A and B are shown apart, each in its own frame.
Chain A
Amino acid sequence: MDRNNPGGTGPVHVPLGHIVANEKWRGSQLAQGMQGKVKLIFEEDLASADFYLSSRSCILYITEADLVVGHGYRKRLVRVRNSGHLQGIIIVEKTQTSEQYFPAVQKFTVLDLGMVMFPVANQLEASCLIIQLVQEQTREPSRNPFLRKKRCVLSELSLVQTVQQIPGVGKVKAPLLLQKFPTIQQLSNASVQELEEVVGHSVAQQIHTFFTQSR
């Protein structure tokens, strides 16, 4: 069987930093916009996808005409979604003519199929976006600000702030209580008598009520 099966969703080899493009895009404005910035490899028989960014992610391009004509494009999306090993990124031409169809497409692709979708105004915008997508895929994940490791928070300060939320406890009593009962759990289990060693009778009562009262 051919490397690219008739469904066009078989594994496609994409060298790093390259894009495998469907033959039909040869000479288009979109391809021209990308040339010089990324290397394009044209291949035939990519029935479902328009571009492959890697062997696991591909781009489906929906033109203004596709949107206006009807729901034909949906089959293509579903085929890629069901392939299992491919992440499909949908790029839609959102123009004055096709704008009215956009909400329905977005609901179908993003909310029903759970795929990623971007609107563009024309092929030139699409070429810039695709280049950006290639750059995102080839760079270190840690360069993505949304994938950075969380920094450690100072728990002592937040513990004091948590204890201050107990009625009757302010910024003076909170550290005193934590010195005697060093975890929230131990503080929650303290009896009124134990609490009275740190705070006065009425506040001790208040703290005990706060923890034990059923709500």
Chain B
Amino acid sequence: SAVPCSHSSLLVADGHTAPRPPQEGNRACILVDSREITSGLEVISSLRTVHGLQVEVCPLNGCDYIVSNRMVVERKSLSEMLNNGSKNKFIEQIQRLQSMFQRICVIVEKDREKAGDTSRMFRRTKCYDSLLTALVGAGIRILFSSGQEETADLLKELSLVEQRKNVGIHVPAVLNPSKCEALQFYLSIPSISYITALNMCHRFSSVKKMANSSPEEISACAQVTRQKAEEIYRYIHYTFDMQMLPSDLNQDRLKSDACSAL
């Protein structure tokens, strides 16, 4: 009969050791910075094996995790957040992310405890509290994690929430050589994120097409806000003025002019 049959097929699906990817396209994708391989290996492997997500390791240039077309996640150890010395570096990093992403989430992760190490007692500092409140004041989300495994779980939840809001990542991260050239070109546009450049690669039929697009078209293809699309549009239409170029580059050019004249 039909009923036991469908039961058994369910059991088979559940019995798989590796989680089966849901239908292609619906599967959540997360981009991971290649630097996380050294510092967050367990996060990456948890994402892959426990949660069965599609994880693509890319050179994200300091953006730890990209979970949607608009959201970046910065993974930060608790000890670094407590320490006043690394405060400015952290602020600069967040400001850089703000120029590229609409939404930012910081995951504060507890440091791994070494056996017998009691010196690393958690002592809450004023610096820590002021960082937290400043982040909240700027609308940046904060999540707290007890370790790399929990961080992976939080990343999965974030990507699912974003997917429900229709901003999930739906383009392949693997590119053929000609697309790679275009990717590098798009990435050199100021304040553009890796996922935006990737979307542009896949959704514009050619670079020429992109350069002749209206802000509305850029917004739709690159999956960015109207404001960001206008910023990109202005860059494409910005008139170059040699006088404004920093002098060292200008001298290079003069030298080369002299060479070609000779």
Q: Which residues of A contact B (CB under 8 A)?
A: 89, 99, 102-103, 106-107, 110-111, 116-121, 125, 128-129, 132-133, 135-137, 141, 144-148, 150, 153-162, 164-167, 171-172, 175-176, 178-179, 182-185, 187-189, 210-215
**Chain B residue nearest in CB terms to A150:** B99
A175 with B245: CB separation less than 8 A: yes
Q: A119-B144, A128-B129, A185-B212 are in contact. List 15 more A-B contacts (CB 8 A).
A: A120-B124, A129-B129, A144-B134, A148-B95, A156-B240, A157-B246, A158-B235, A172-B256, A175-B249, A179-B242, A183-B239, A184-B211, A185-B237, A211-B208, A215-B206
**Cβ of B150 to closest chain A Cβ, rounded Å:** 6
Interface flags for B158-192 (1: CB within 8 Å of A; 0: not) read 10010000000000000010110110110111110
Q: Are A145 and B246 in contact (CB under 8 A)?
A: no
| Complex alpha-carbon distance, A119 and B110, angstroms | 13
21 sampled A-B residue pairs with Cβ under 8 A? A102-B144, A118-B142, A119-B144, A125-B124, A128-B129, A132-B130, A132-B132, A136-B136, A145-B95, A146-B135, A147-B138, A154-B244, A156-B241, A156-B245, A156-B246, A159-B240, A171-B249, A184-B237, A210-B207, A215-B179, A215-B206
The answer to whether A157 and B249 touch (CB under 8 A), given A132-B126, A212-B206, is yes
CB distance from A99 to the nearest CB of B (A): 8
Return chain A residues, CB-CB under 8 Å to B239. Answer: 182-183
Q: In the bound complex, do residue A185 and residue B236 qualify as a contact, i.e. CB atoms below 8 Å apart? A: yes
* A110 touching B253, Cβ below 8 Å: no
Interface residues, chain B, CB within 8 Å of chain A?
91, 94-95, 98-99, 122, 124, 126, 129-130, 132-138, 140-144, 146, 150, 153, 157-158, 161, 176, 178-179, 181-182, 184-185, 187-191, 201, 205-208, 211-212, 235-242, 244-246, 249-250, 252-253, 256
Nearest 6 pairs of A and B residues by beta carbon: A146-B138, A188-B211, A136-B133, A178-B240, A211-B208, A165-B185
Q: Is the CB of A175 within 8 A of B242?
A: yes
Q: Which of A111, A117, A160, A179 contacts B249 (CB 8 A)?
A: A160
Report yes or no: B158 in contact with A111, Cβ–Cβ below 8 A.
yes
A121 touches B124 (CB 8 A): yes
- B207 contacts across to A, CB distance below 8 A: 188, 210-211
Q: What separation, in Å, do the CA atoms of A179 and B94 have in the docked complex? A: 36
A146-B208 contact in complex given A129-B129, A155-B235, C-beta closer than 8 Å? no
Bound: A118/B144 CA distance, A: 8
Are A172 and B94 in contact (CB-based, < 8 A)? no
**Residue from B124, B137, B143, B236 within 8 A of A110 (CB atoms):** B143
Of listed B99, B129, B201, residue having the most chain A CB within 10 A? B129
- The residue among A99, A137, A146 with the most chain B CB atoms within 10 A of its own CB is A146
